[in-house]
Amino acid sequence: MSNSIIKARDVTTKFGNKVVHDKISIDVKEGEVYGILGGSGSGKTTLLREMIMLQRFKSGSIEILGQRIGHLSHKQIVELKQNWSVLFQFGALYSSLNVIENVSIPLIEYTTLPKELIEEIALSKLKMAGLKKEATYLFPSELSGGMKKRAALARALAMDPKILFLDEPTSGLDPVGAENFDRLIRELASLLKLTVIIVTHDLHTIEHVLDRFCIIFEKKILFEGTLEEAKKFEHYAIKEFLKLERG
């Protein structure tokens, strides 16, 4: 068994008086593709945002790569953040930069690679993400939703991160595109030895991409494990979830 790369323990989150997470604990192992599942408004994205330090939680602890977040110096945070990248639900591309600049910018900021090579890397990441050649020099406002998502994935992959966080990666894609996206994530995970955390609804993703997943139900972790285990688990919510939810 490989080590846990992310360890969440008793994380409690409150918005005002409303409890979102009540002492939830999960483990993500190195090199696996891990899913965070749950109904709308169950706090999946919130949990993701807490892991990537965009949101604070009330109590409990989250450890990433052996470092306990919330107790780090500014310098440690900057270094730690270089280990992961995030694909936001709607892409979140920088609107003042064109596609290739969007992909290049982390490389320009954080590495000393020559310009030519950066461009080459950016082009190859765009191809990897399945974006058409013609879109390379367009601005985000000129892209369709699916193209934005692909460009954003290319940006997320630019730095070859150890951990990749994906927030509903297949929502807004056509079925064929979504399937290709799923296959791509699988391929990337095995070739680049990525650990991938996916927040998703998509049944196809759950079946074909995830190694393990957790289901958030009524503020708690209802289940954590593989699909086979989930199918054996007797609970109406899981049965319904794995049958009905579509991306």
Partner 1 sequence: MNNFEVIKENSKQCNIKISQRLDKDSIKAIYSKVKKIQNQKYSFVKIDCSGMASLDYVGALMIADLSATLCENKASVVVMGMNQDSQSLLLFARKNLRQKTKVKLLKENIFISPIIKAGQYAIDSIESFIFFLSFFGETVSKFFRIILTPWKFRYKATAVHIEKSGAQALPIVALTSFLVGLVIAYQGAEQLAKFGANIFIVDMVSISMFRELSPLIAAIVIAGRSASSYTAEIGTMKITEEIDAMRSMGFDPINFLVLPRILALLIAMPLIVFFADIVGVFGGMIVAKTSLGISYTEFIIRARDVVAVKHILIGLFKAPFFGLLIATVGCFRGFQVTGSTESIGHYTTISVVNAIFWVIACNALISVVLTEIGV
Binding residues for partner 1, rule: CB under 8 A, are: 95-96, 111-114, 117, 119-121, 123-128, 133, 136-137, 139-142, 160, 187, 191-192
Q: Which residue, 92 or 242, has its beta carbon nearer to partner 1?
A: 92
Q: Which residue, 142 or 174, has its beta carbon nearer to partner 1?
A: 142
Distance of CA 220 to CAs 15, 132, 166, 190, 207, Å? 16, 42, 21, 31, 23
Q: Which residue, 54 or 117, has its beta carbon nearer to partner 1?
A: 117
What is the closest distance, in whole angstroms, from the C-beta atom of residue 190 to partner 1 in the complex?
9
> Which tokens hold the place of 228?
């086979």
What is the closest distance, in whole angstroms, from the C-beta atom of residue 13 to partner 1 in the complex?
27
Q: Which residue, 52 or 154, has its beta carbon nearer to partner 1?
A: 154
**CA dist., res. 47 & res. 117, Å (int):** 36
Place of tokens 């630019």: 158
What is the closest distance, in whole angstroms, from the C-beta atom of residue 225 to partner 1 in the complex?
28
Q: Which residue, 79 or 187, has its beta carbon nearer to partner 1?
A: 187
What is the closest distance, in whole angstroms, from the C-beta atom of residue 122 to partner 1 in the complex?
9
What is the closest distance, in whole angstroms, from the C-beta atom of residue 91 to partner 1 in the complex?
13
Q: Which of 120, 178, 194, 125 is nearest to 153 (CA)?
A: 125
Q: Which residues of 36-73 are buried (b: 16+ CB within 10 A; e: fewer)?
A: bbbbeebbbbbbbbbbbbeeebeebebbbbeeebeeee
105's CB contacts (< 8 A; 6+ apart) are 94, 97, 155
**CA dist., res. 214 & res. 212, Å (int):** 7
